Amino acid sequence: MISQLVILWTDGLVFLLLLVVILFGIYASRKAHLRGPWRQVARSRVGMGTLVVLSFYLVVALLDSFHYHPILDKAGQEEGATATQSVEVISLFDGLVEGLRERQEKTYSAPLATRLYAKENIELPDGRVVRDFPRLAYGGAHLADPETEWLPDILKLSAVGIIKGLVVSLAVANLLIILLAMRSRRSFGAQGRAVLRGATEIPWKVAFLTLAFMLVLVFWSAELAAKYHLLGTDKVGEDVYYQALKSIRTGLLIGTLTTLVMLPAAILLGIMAGYFRGWVDDVIQYSYTTLNSIPGVLLIAAAILMLQIYMSNHEFDSLVERADLRLLILVIILGVTSWTGLCRLLRGETLKLREMDYVQAATAFGVSNLKIITRHILPNVLHIVLIAVILDFSGLVLAEAVLSYVNIGVDPTMNSWGNMINSARLEMAREPIVWWSLAAAMIFMFSLVLAANLFSDVVRDAFDPRLRGSR
């Protein structure tokens, strides 16, 4: 299937970020002072476990960042030679889970339900009209008699999913153990036993267990989601599981792109202020104090309000592009409000570093300012940047939810945990309560943020020797 790739603004930034991370990885692997702490992260059980969880989120977000116009098959056949492309923009991830995206119900339905959540007038074949919960169009539609077949079917599907997950994880684990055995020149059995005993330098056992857990979860949910709405449907009948998965990209993008956007300014200005001092310092300090003094939420609110005016006066090709622009602006504004902290940190550190003897020695050699900054200052503040970036991530993910709730977050048409919570809270007053949208968003968000928090703790301990002793 040939289709036209669409690179949204944020997609481009994601690829740029990926490139930056890969380049940094290559750079770090050559520098002992960066390699060492990362090795320490890899040796930590918490580090490995959370890394596995985070990589699942990452894969979904990346798949969701390849956008294209899908080909409309039917239209193409009718018109003959050229296949027409839809104006709709979907992602690779959408393509993978097409079923989830397209099987829309009428309105609310509970997780794994076979019937709608609201009573409707149903016209029976004999013409009578009764008021009852109608069957869902897709969820459990394969069951003839949901009342008796439902539970066995669920159990069967679960069992199949779990077994599939276990088989795949075993296969992956064996493959990895073979690779490890080859690298350490041990027999497969010896390597396997070492892993099981937890005697390897990198805690592979924890990594495998986490991986197996995640894989089982993925296969189990895939099995069930194919036939049911695993987490129910929302007001307009969209699958909540699909929404929650789609929100991963939004959350991750806000958490990462914001730092990517603000990093150049923070590093450049922070180091310049600390290194050159004098009026340069005064100007930079003035600008970040001024920016900092505006409460972040209000600055974002003001900017988003202005964006709304701009958007209402301009036309967009598609809803996705419109939402994407808003995401981009949001990321930039969040960047503007959050660069000041890092900038101040770097300024302080540079002030200290420029008085170090080795900087004085470089000056005594007549080394130029630019070289001193790139060779002596920058490498010595890099760990601070890294810690700040990783620490900021979870805060930004949580902030997205709050901002979307206040309607100054991402576009309302975009899938995000904040939007899910926002729409769900209106249903809290319903009797019986519609809880699944909320729960889904909370669980997805919580596991991401928890993993990120634990991971950032490990990274910080590895990179910040000052705190190493206090543990």
Partner 1 sequence: MTAYILRRIIYAMPILLGVNILTFVLFFVVNSPDDMARMNLGMKRVTPAAVENWKHERGYDLPLLFNESATGTGRITETIFFQKSLKLFRFDFGSSDSGRDIGYDISQRMWPSLAIAVPVLLVGLLLNITFALLIAFFRATYIDFWGVVLCVILMSISGLFYIIGGQYLVSKLLHLVPISGYDTGLGSVKFLILPVIIGVIGGIGAGTRWYRTLFLEEINKDYVRTARAKGLSETVVLFRHVLKNAMIPILTGVVVVLPLLFMGSLITESFFGIPGLGSYTIDAINSQDFAIVRSMVFLGSVLYILGLLLTDISYTLVDPRVRLS
Partner 2 sequence: MNDTLLQVKGLKTWLGEGENPVRAVDGVDFEIRRGETFALLGESGCGKSMTALSLMRLLPPSGRIIRGEAFLGETSLFDLAERDMRRERGGRMGMIFQEPMTSLNAVRTIADQIGESVRLHDPENRSDIRSRVIELLKAVGIPDPVRRLDEYPHQLSGGMKQRVMIAMALAGRPELLIADEPTTALDVTIQAQVLALLKDLQHQTGMAVLLITHDLGVVSNVADRVAVMYAGQLIEQATTERFISSPAHPYSQKLFQSLPNSGKRGGRLAVIKGSVPKLTQDFTQCRFVDRCDQSMDICSRSEPVWREHGAGGGVRCHLEDYPGIRIDQPARPDSSETEATRALEEPLIETRDLKIHFPIHKGVFKRVVGHVKAVDGVDISIAPGRTLALVGESGCGKTTVGKGILQLVHPTGGTVKFDGEELSRLKGSALRQLRSQMQIIFQDPVASMNPRMLVGDIIAEGMQAQRIGGTAAGRRGRVLELLAHVGLPADAADLYPNEFSGGQRQRICIARALAVEPRFIVCDEPTSALDVSVQAQILNLLMDLQQEHGISYLFITHNISVVSYLAHEVAVMYLGRIVERGTVEEVLGSPAHPYTQALLSAVPVIDGDSEHEVIRLEGDMPSPANPPTGCHFHPRCPQAFDECRKAYPDSAGLSDTRKVSCFNYRS
Using the contact rule CB under 8 A, the part of the chain among 198-206, 288-296, 319-327, 374-382 near partner 2 is 374-382
365 binds partner 2, rule: CB under 8 A: yes
34 binds partner 1, rule: CB under 8 A: no
Using the contact rule CB under 8 A, the part of the chain among 72-80, 176-184, 240-248, 359-367 near partner 2 is 359-367
| Secondary structure class of 351 (helix, strand, coil) | helix
332 binds partner 1, rule: CB under 8 A: no
379 binds, among partner 1, partner 2, none (CB under 5 to 8 A by kind): partner 2
Q: Specify whether the CB–CB gap between 181 and 191 falls below 8 A.
A: yes
Q: One symbol per residue from 376 to 415: x for binding partner 2 (CB under 8 A), - otherwise; what is it? A: x--xx-----------------------------------
Q: In sequence order, which residues have a C-beta less than 8 Å from that of residue 287 and are 6 or more positions away?
A: 269
**Range 356-385, binding partner 1 (CB under 8 A):** none
Give the span between the Cα atoms of 202 and 42, in whole angstroms: 6
**Range 423-442, binding partner 1 (CB under 8 A):** 425, 428, 433, 438, 442
For 276-292, b/e burial (b = at least 16 CB within 10 A) is eeeeebeebeeebeeeb
Nearer residue to partner 1 within complex by CB, 124 or 309: 309
* Segment (H or E) for 131: strand 129-132
Among 305, 356, 361, 426, indicate the residue that binds partner 1 (CB under 8 A). Answer: 305
Q: In sequence order, which residues have a C-beta less than 8 Å from that of residue 266 and are 6 or more positions away?
A: 339, 340, 342, 343, 346, 385
Q: Specify whether the CB–CB gap between 463 and 383 falls below 8 A.
A: yes
Q: One symbol per residue from 228 to 247: x for binding partner 2 (CB under 8 A), - otherwise; what is it? A: --------------------
289 binds, among partner 2, partner 1, none (CB under 5 to 8 A by kind): partner 1
Using the contact rule CB under 8 A, the part of the chain among 132-140, 302-310, 315-323, 370-378 near partner 1 is 302-310
Among 167, 179, 294, 361, indicate the residue that binds partner 2 (CB under 8 A). Answer: 361
Query: Which residue(s) pair with 71 in the sheet?
Result: 85
Count of residues that interact with partner 2, criterion CB under 8 A: 20
Among 82, 121, 187, 313, indicate the residue that binds partner 1 (CB under 8 A). Answer: 313
Among 368, 369, 374, 413, indicate the residue that binds partner 2 (CB under 8 A). Answer: 368
Query: Which residue(s) pair with 131 in the sheet?
Result: 121
Backbone phi and psi for residue 121, each to the nearest 5 degrees, phi listed first? -80, 120
Q: In sequence order, which residues have a C-beta less than 8 Å from that of residue 397 and are 6 or more positions away?
A: 251, 252, 254, 255, 445, 448, 449, 452
Give the span between the Cα atoms of 214 and 222, in whole angstroms: 12
Nearer residue to partner 1 within complex by CB, 282 or 317: 282
362 binds partner 2, rule: CB under 8 A: yes
Nearer residue to partner 1 within complex by CB, 193 or 425: 425
Provide the H-helix boundaries in 31-122.
Answer: 32-43, 45-63, 73-79, 92-96, 98-102
**Angle 285-408-88 (CA atoms, 0-180°, nearest 5)?**
120
Count of residues that interact with partner 1, criterion CB under 8 A: 49
If you compute the radius of gyration of the chain from its CA atoms, what whole number of angstroms results?
A: 26
398 binds partner 1, rule: CB under 8 A: yes
| Secondary structure class of 13 (helix, strand, coil) | helix
Using the contact rule CB under 8 A, the part of the chain among 58-66, 154-162, 346-354, 450-458 near partner 1 is 450-458
Nearer residue to partner 2 within complex by CB, 360 or 413: 360
406 binds, among partner 1, partner 2, none (CB under 5 to 8 A by kind): partner 1
309 binds partner 1, rule: CB under 8 A: yes
Using the contact rule CB under 8 A, the part of the chain among 115-123, 242-250, 266-274, 360-368 near partner 2 is 360-368
Nearer residue to partner 1 within complex by CB, 172 or 291: 291
**DSSP assignment string, 291-334:** HHHS-HHHHHHHHHHHHHHHHHTS--S-HHHHHHHHHHHHHHHH
- Using alpha carbons, select from 368, 416, 455, 387 the residue that is nearest to residue 52: 455
Q: Which residues bind partner 1 (CB under 8 A)?
A: 286-287, 289-295, 297-299, 301-303, 305-306, 308-310, 312-313, 394, 398, 401-402, 405-408, 417, 421, 425, 428, 433, 438, 442, 445-446, 449-450, 453-454, 457, 466-467, 469-471
Q: Which residues bind partner 2 (CB under 8 A)?
A: 31-33, 356-358, 360-368, 371, 375-376, 379-380
